[in-house]
Structure 1
Amino acid sequence: MDNSPVRITAEETLSDNWYVLKKYSFDLRRRDGSWQAQTREVYDRGNGATILLYNREQRTVLLIRQFRMPTFVNGYEGYLVEAAAGLLDNASPEERIRLEAEEETGYRVSHVEKIYSAFMSPGSVTERIHFFIGEYRPGDRVGEGGGLEEEGEDIEVLELGFDQAIAQVADGTIVDGKTIMLLQYLELRLLKGDFL
């Protein structure tokens, strides 16, 4: 006997252009034991990883600034200040985030620490993001960063004071969820005396 609370009754691919958008029809077992028919659209873009690079001595963080079309069409200017991030593309989260950090910021970090994983928009997107922190030093810079032009990236690298970055969360300059989570994680560790 199947004890699953979900029975998928139909699956339809709506788009397979950039990533995959599907429409699922399913029966969901409610808490009272009854079954309810539902339909949802699910966007599958793969899983990703993100990292906040920080410098303990300088009390700085490395962030990036890039254009994000979904934010633009939602009434925002479109340019977001973010932590470096990328899709896994069949790599391990640690391997991918090391490559993304170097590609986007120009810094090669020797040690990264995974802190947690989270679903960022579970109502419609399958993506799970793996969150990392890593300490950088000026000598770790091996390139300019900026991302890959062939992937449409035109990334500005920003080195901000930690207090300045926290203030930008409060004043609405930094509005990217993953970046806010990473900065607040570092702030909590700071308050406990673990960092900076």
Structure 2
Amino acid sequence: MKKFEEKTINSKTIYDGKVVKLQVDDVRLPNGQQAKRELIKHPGAVSVIPITKDNKIVLVEQYRKPLEKSIIEIPAGKLEPGEVPEITAMRELEEETGYTTSHLTKVTSFYTSPGFANELMHIYLAKDLEKLTVPKALDEDEFVEVLEVTLEEAKKLVEEQRIHDAKTNYAILYLDTQELL
């Protein structure tokens, strides 16, 4: 038995959508009591820290409906069924920024909200970017504006809470501590 394991007694799918599945589990706690757990099942996601040849960070601004505002982020997207994260990273880089690279390096992976979701975010560093001669099309429901900023400008965007999500904050901290720029 795993430390503090909660045994599932019953599981009910409430919603099975394009991006997430919501389920409610009845569980037996380590002390023998029962509880309910509301869970979001997610296929996983990938984000990319794109760095231009002149050491600018390529970011995208887009509207996020759950927040009811636009925020500035590193490019990201969800894994398609059976897709390896490197393929997703390259696709999202090309679609969202108009850049490609032959230098994609895995930085880390982390769970975005382990209290209620199983989404695993993979982060890649993309250096030596090349502009695509023919830009890839965005998803039909996706609208983004591309920005290229210095590390100092990115840190200012964090202070202003225009960068206000975990993956992008992680990326800025990573770049700052690794002294890559």
Q: Same fold (TM over 0.5)?
A: yes
1:17-55 deviation per Cα after TM superposition (whole angstroms, max 9, x unaligned): 3421000110121xxxx2231111111121111011013
Aligned to 1:161: 150
CA distance in 2, matches of 1:146, 1:63: 17
- TM-score norm. by structure 1 comes to 0.84
1:1-196 mapped onto 2 (5 Å cutoff): 3-4=1-2, 5-18=5-18, 19-29=20-30, 34-55=31-52, 57-72=53-68, 78-89=69-80, 90-137=82-129, 139-144=130-135, 147-149=138-140, 152-190=141-179, 195-196=180-181
- Structure 1 or 2: more helix by fraction: 1
The letter of the residue matching 1:91 is E
Structure 1 stretches (4+) deviating beyond 6 angstroms? Answer: none
CA distance in 1, matches of 2:47, 2:85: 9
Cα distance 1:169–1:146, how it changes in 2: closer, same or farther (>3 A)? farther
- TM-score norm. by structure 2 comes to 0.91
- Where 2:100 maps in the other structure, the secondary structure is coil
Identical positions, percent? 27
Q: Is the 8 A contact 1:107 1:142 kept in 2?
A: no
- Where 2:156 maps in the other structure, the secondary structure is helix
* Structure 2, unpaired ranges of 5+: none
- Where 2:114 maps in the other structure, the secondary structure is coil
Give 1 or 2 for the bigger CA radius of gyration.
1
Cα distance 1:157–1:143, how it changes in 2: closer, same or farther (>3 A)? farther
Cα distance 1:91–1:142, how it changes in 2: closer, same or farther (>3 A)? farther
Q: Is the 8 A contact 1:66 1:154 kept in 2?
A: yes
Q: Is the 8 A contact 1:24 1:41 kept in 2?
A: yes
- Where 2:35 maps in the other structure, the secondary structure is strand
CA distance in 2, matches of 1:91, 1:163: 35
* Structure 1, unpaired ranges of 5+: 73-77
| Superposition CA RMSD, Å | 1.6
- Where 2:142 maps in the other structure, the secondary structure is coil
